[in-house]
Amino acid sequence: MLRAIPRINRYWSLPPSALNFNGISYTTISQRHYSSAGQPITDPVDSLSQSISVSSPGSIPLAHPKDPRSGHGYSDLNPPPPSSFPPPEDASSLPTTLSGPPARAYQPDPQQSYAAPPFHTHAFVSALEKSFPTPTARSLMRATRALLVDRIGRVRREGLTVKDLDNQAYLFRAALSELRAEQTARSRNENATIRSATAALRREVDRLDVKMKEDLGTLKHEIQMELDTRKNESKAQLKQQTIAIEEVLNKAIITLSDLRANMEEVKWNNMRQAVAALGAFVLLIVIGMELYTFSKPKPPPPPPPAVLKERLPPPDSEAVSQVS
């Protein structure tokens, strides 16, 4: 279909004179052979259309109907025209042939009439003989006929009819329907596979969730038991440490009490010794003074009173001390 689009555009871009010959459509063109006084000119044979085989009904090709490389070519839809036709007796009694062959399960409308483009060689030559000599007029007629046959053959080889377009549209719609059905089936299969995989994954996730919850509960219970055990052990260790500290404290208190008692005892002993030493020292001083008093000589008797009236010198310190 895509390859046929440029040819269809080229067909519609042709001038009306190339498509219609005196009001007759291009689809009604049929190759004909006209007699002339000179050498007869025949249509060229389409060798490509004869070598193309008919494709099987079950296949749905999408190639151009006139592409020689496709499975069904122009021979499937439009068989090639014969190489020559018997010349007509009169130009006015030209027979009309059908150029559009039937497509698959399609019959042409019998009420539709097809006519060949008029090309009267004698009238054409007579009109040319008015301006050119007879050999030149006949040569021009042969050249015109050859060009016309070549153009008609090219249009038949490269052009597309309405039937061809309808057939290709039908094949394209059938291919689209088949592709849509295949894509729908594939999508359904993929969706079913995805749904089954999703369900399996959901079940696996649920199972893992339950297992994880059980493992978390077991782990929490074990951790709680370990914490309780460790707490009890810590309490026991603290009690043992407290008992050991109290024992050390008691031993230290007892030792300090013993040391304090010893210190008090030593202090009292020292005090008694100091008091005894002081007492002995005082006693020795008293005894010494007493002994000194007994060993001192008696003083002389006092002088008479007359003598006392005289002015005596001041007594010295030794005399004062003796008097005292």
Q: Which of 24-38, 135-149, 257-271, 306-320 has the highest mean pLDDT?
A: 257-271
Domain that holds residue 19: 4-160
First to last CA, the chain: 171
Is residue 275 a part of any domain in this protein?
no
**Mean pLDDT for the chain overall:** 70
**pLDDT for residue 11 is more than 60:** no
Is residue 310 a part of any domain in this protein?
no
Return the pLDDT at 159.
76
**pLDDT for residue 137 is more than 80:** yes
Of 261, 282, 259, 279, residue with least CA distance to 271: 279
Mean pLDDT of 284-311: 70
Query: For residue 290, what pLDDT band results from cuts at 50, 70 and 90?
Result: confident
Return the pLDDT at 305.
58
| Four-point Cα dihedral 95, 96, 99, 102, nearest 10 | -110
Is residue 247 a part of any domain in this protein?
no
**pLDDT for residue 230 is more than 70:** yes
Return the pLDDT at 158.
81
Is residue 21 a part of any domain in this protein?
yes
Query: For residue 281, what pLDDT band results from cuts at 50, 70 and 90?
Result: very high
306 vs 177, 303, 309, 310, CA distance in Å?
A: 187, 8, 5, 7
Return the pLDDT at 169.
92
> Per the structure, how many domains does the chain have?
1
Q: Could you give the CA distance from residue 91 to residue 97 in angstroms, rounded to a whole number? A: 15
**pLDDT for residue 182 is more than 50:** yes
Residue type, 10: R
Is residue 283 a part of any domain in this protein?
no
Q: Could you give the CA distance from residue 173 to residue 1 in angstroms, rounded to a whole number? A: 11
Higher pLDDT, 44 or 290: 290
Return the pLDDT at 59.
43
Q: Other C-beta atoms within 10 Å of 62: how many?
A: 13
Q: Could you give the CA distance from residue 324 to residue 318 in angstroms, rounded to a whole number? A: 10
Is residue 82 a part of any domain in this protein?
yes
